[in-house]
Structure 1
């Protein structure tokens, strides 16, 4: 489709300029007051001017990088090349403005460290139009689901599909591979009762795994009927998430009624 659009645009440009030149070279004067200016200046200029406007736009919108970023900004979807790509976990390493703006909104180049579905890590980048009000959300360490192509990992796109289940699966598989959770705990998070708990105690034994610190929490969990029970939870957390589990904080948890001592806490990834 991209090649067809470009070919049609190029053909339109060639034909428009060809017609303009043909008109000028074959023009015949119609009277003594006609000095030949009308051979080149007149309605025949319209087609070349239109072509010179349309062709660059077509090539930009059907191109890689800038074009795909613009198309994504207008459509709210991933480009056709990445729409069915694999979902990976991208961690922002750095970002900068490219100098391009669309409706006064800047295009941003984001450098990622991406964990693919096979657990392998690769470095890549994405370009996207970001509203000024959302620029503050882009910070090193922020985790975003990305779409990537296995045979071209130098470039990715932030996932715009809205399929949160795909992103959650990718995140869950990553956490299992790293030993931060288990399938049993994920089952509790999916099937268990959602409740609130107060952090009663917090200990840091000093164990670190893949940059995550082990945290030992003492919780007081409130059942739906208002009664409470205590539970202990061991969890590996990134440094940015430790503030969410300070003593006295109220957090969301999941548990199964038949096994209240197995409690799973739910924290925001990019809080």
Structure 2
């Protein structure tokens, strides 16, 4: 629609420019055209159709979702629009959106970003989002901290379950007690999903009551986390007496791991 209006406005302006020349070429008077009652409205209409849609488009593009459902976005593409507000650039972002109860899906959003925060908005970065309850395709960047760490953690757990992590392991991760375990033995069982490896682990865990528990379990971890899980190393785990033969590993998670979790096709 904007393109149609701008094209129509351009035609009006070209007509206003060439009609006096054409009239003069035909032997008439150019001033007769210029003094016509329709000439000035033609110019005004042309300018209005050319410039007003562009101005309105910029204003409406600055409107963003300021409240809604918390979500997480994986940035796939970043481009500056050329618009600046108080010397702060407007960015157009293509993101993969992860929200509660849904599979990840692509979306676009625009936002004015402070110069000091531009480094955080690069392809591969994870950012908090707000999703419109009326239209899931409309998303906004949460620059006010409305998306809490708990929201992000819950989305992470849900996404991990979608990728095959058992329910009981997620319950341990969410409700178990954090302990330290010594890696007594580790046997690689080969690669599983892309970027992941399965291990047979023997862990020695000391509970808060001073008891020592030995757990034999198979775990799937990211290949980048493998150096942390070596024989003799001490790692953090989540342990629950309700599931004494299992643990959830509490390994540090970097940006690469988060990208794999929140990616659309992982």
Which TM-score band applies after superposition, normalised by the shorter structure? Answer: 0.5 to 0.7
Task: Indicate if the aligned counterparts of 1:233 and 1:264 stay in contact, CA closer than 8 A.
Answer: no
State how far apart, in whole Å, the 2-side matches of 1:133 and 1:219 are: 44
State how far apart, in whole Å, the 1-side matches of 2:92 and 2:231 are: 38
State how far apart, in whole Å, the 2-side matches of 1:140 and 1:243 are: 26
Q: Deviations over 1:20-58 (max 9, x none)?
A: xxxxxxxxxxxxxxxxxxxxxxxxxxxxxxxxxxxxxx9
State how far apart, in whole Å, the 1-side matches of 2:95 and 2:217 are: 31
Give the superposition deviation at 1:192: 1.6
Please say if 1:66 is aligned against 2:62.
yes
Unpaired stretches in structure 2, ≥5 consecutive residues? 1-54, 256-266
Query: Taking structure 1 as the reference length, what is the TM-score of the superposition?
Result: 0.55
Q: Which residue of 2 aligns with 1:179?
A: 164
> Which runs of structure 1 show a deviation greater than 6 angstroms over 4 or more consecutive aligned residues?
58-61
1:162-177 equivalence runs, <5 A: 162-177=147-162
Task: Indicate if the aligned counterparts of 2:129 and 2:147 stay in contact, CA closer than 8 A.
Answer: no
State how far apart, in whole Å, the 2-side matches of 1:241 and 1:103 are: 43
Q: Equivalent residue of 2:245, what SS? A: strand
Please say if 1:264 is aligned against 2:248.
yes
1:54-203 equivalence runs, <5 A: 63-68=59-64, 79=66, 83-85=67-69, 87-101=70-84, 105-132=88-115, 134-149=117-132, 152-159=135-142, 160-182=145-167, 184-199=168-183, 201-203=185-187
Task: Indicate if the aligned counterparts of 1:122 and 1:153 stay in contact, CA closer than 8 A.
Answer: no
Number of aligned positions between the proteins: 198
Q: Which residue of 2 aligns with 1:75?
A: none
Unpaired stretches in structure 1, ≥5 consecutive residues? 1-57, 69-77
Q: Please report the RMSD computed on the Cα atoms of aligned residues, expressed in angstroms.
A: 3.8
